[in-house]
Amino acid sequence: MACSIVPSFSVEISRLLRCWGDGDQAALNQLMPLVYTELHQMAHRHMRQQLPGQTLQTTALVNEAYLRLADVEGVRGQDRTHFFAVSAQIMRRILVDSARAHLADKRGGRLPHVYLDESMDPSPQSVLSASMRCR
């Protein structure tokens, strides 16, 4: 009777990471369901440290991290520990980018800039000085 040895979860993740690094896109598709729960827990820990009012959801953070991970060349071929370390760093960057965008919006960052001309000043003092010049 042959005994089949099932590789441990960590070894399987490392194997899939190496396969993905070798260009096997199917390995990435197999990898993500295995690491999703751990990535979601990691994202939840990061989100708990955020200020109230954060609009980014935990699942959205995981999904954004996944999209960025798919484009990172340095993650491919690495082991499980390195993969999760890079994932955590990417999540932190996403949260920093989100906070910066929120602060920019708060200060009118995406609104068009309007430059005022003193001759267009409608204050009573400017109207009075303009009428005095006309005399």
Question: For residue range 47-80, what is the model confidence (pLDDT) as tens digits?
Answer: 888 777 677 888 999 999 988 887 766 555 577 8
Cβ neighbourhood burial of 94 (10 Å; 0-12, 13-18, 19+): buried
Give Cβ neighbours of residue 4 (< 8 Å, ≥ 6 apart): none
Q: State how far the alpha carbon of 126 is from the alpha carbons of 23, 44, 63, 135, in Å.
A: 70, 56, 55, 15
Rg for the chain (alpha carbons), in Å? 27
**CATH topology for the 9-108 domain:** Rna Polymerase Sigma Factor; Chain: A (1.10.1740)
* Better-predicted residue by pLDDT, 29 or 60: 60
- Asked whether residue 2 carries a pLDDT value surpassing 60, the answer given is no
Q: Which residues of 7-37 are buried (b: 16+ CB within 10 A; e: fewer)?
A: eeeeeebbbbbebbbeeeeebbeebeeebee
- Asked whether residue 6 carries a pLDDT value surpassing 50, the answer given is no
Cβ neighbourhood burial of 107 (10 Å; 0-12, 13-18, 19+): exposed
Give Cβ neighbours of residue 74 (< 8 Å, ≥ 6 apart): 86
Are residues 38 and 84 in contact, defined by beta-carbon separation less than 8 angstroms?
yes
Model pLDDT, residue 71? 76
Q: Measured between alpha carbons, how far is 32 from 46 in angstroms, rounded to an integer?
A: 19
Report pLDDT digits (tens) over 76-123: 557 788 888 989 999 999 999 888 887 776 666 566 666 766 666 666
Q: Which two tokens stand for residue 65?
A: 């991290």
